[in-house]
Amino acid sequence: MNLRVPAWATLLLLVSLAGPRAWADAPAQRLPAPQSSAHKPSPALATAVFSGGCFWGVQGVFSHVRGVVHATSGYSGGGSATAHYEIVSTGATGHAESVKVTYNPAVVSYADLLRVFFSVALDPTQVNRQGPDSGSQYRSVIWFADPEQQAEAKAYIARLDGAHVFGAPIATQVRPLKAFYPAETYHQDFMARHPDHPYIQAWDVEKVVALRKLYPEFYSAKPAG
């Protein structure tokens, strides 16, 4: 996603000719549920951080998951001095566009979030790109906050790869979360605030539609605030 690229008409034409999710090698699909979550339900809120291409779409998807209290766009993988959109966009900072998901474990589990992430938020077989965006800042990463998240993410990836769910191996990395830096205000809740934006219409609306169709038990019509 690049705010300075004006080629929206071309992107929309390609989508209309090639059909939904034309860029993806792994079409959206309902995935097998992960094994029982290692995290016990707790009255306290929990967080998870995911990178899956442009944070507009990933944030938009998770904001429509029942039990998610808030989803924040931001940056992970680099230092605080370079956690700014214009610098991250160079692809030389170590950062990936990321989304911090704050959720209620009594309503939705970390395992459920993994399932949604791999199924509709991105194409997990892509390397350093998603949709029209390419570069290391668009790589796919699960940033784990504790050993339980790490084990659960790795186990689910191994299960999906072992079942050959996708046409290629999952490229999503599993890395320790050192820090999360919120993105600029104009990036926050971008899909909700700009539903008719050409990029959102071309690449992200279908992800929320897929969430509603594939996982009605997880879907919330009202995005998290």
**Which residue, 206, 45, 177, 50, is CA-closest to 115?**
50
Which tens digit of pLDDT belongs to each residue from 162-173?
999 999 999 999
pLDDT of residue 1 exceeding 80? no
Which residue segment(s) compose the domain that 96 sits in? Answer: 42-214
Q: Would residue 33 count as lying in a domain?
A: no
Give the CATH number of the domain where residue 120 resides.
3.30.1060.10
Residues 119/29, Cβ–Cβ less than 8 Å: yes
* Residue 182 within a domain: yes
**What is the rounded distance in angstroms from the CA atom of residue 141 to the CA atom of residue 129?**
12
Residues 6+ positions from 85 with CB-CB distance below 8 Å? 183, 184, 187
Q: Tell me the per-residue pLDDT of 106-151, one tens digit each, with 9 for 90 and over.
A: 999 999 999 999 999 999 999 999 999 999 999 999 999 999 999 9
pLDDT band (50, 70, 90) for residue 28: confident
Please report whether residue 36 resides in a domain. Answer: no
Q: Is residue 119 part of a domain?
A: yes
Question: Which has the higher per-residue pLDDT, 190 or 33?
Answer: 190
**Domains contained in the chain, number:** 1
Report residue 175: phi and psi, to 5°.
Answer: -130, 150
- Write down the pLDDT at residue 37: 57
**Over the stretch 172-188, which tens digit does the pLDDT of each residue have?**
999 999 999 999 999 99
Residue 186, domain member (yes or no): yes
Tokens 């690229």 locate to 5
| Residues assigned a catalytic role | 54
**Does residue 151 belong to any structural domain of this protein?**
yes
Q: How far is CA 127 from CA 8, 52, 115, 133, 216, in A?
A: 23, 10, 19, 11, 29
Helix (H) or strand (E) holding 161: helix 147-162
Q: Residue 158 is inside which H or E element, if any?
A: helix 147-162
Let me know if residue 106 belongs to a domain.
yes
Question: Across residues 74-103, what is the average pLDDT?
Answer: 98
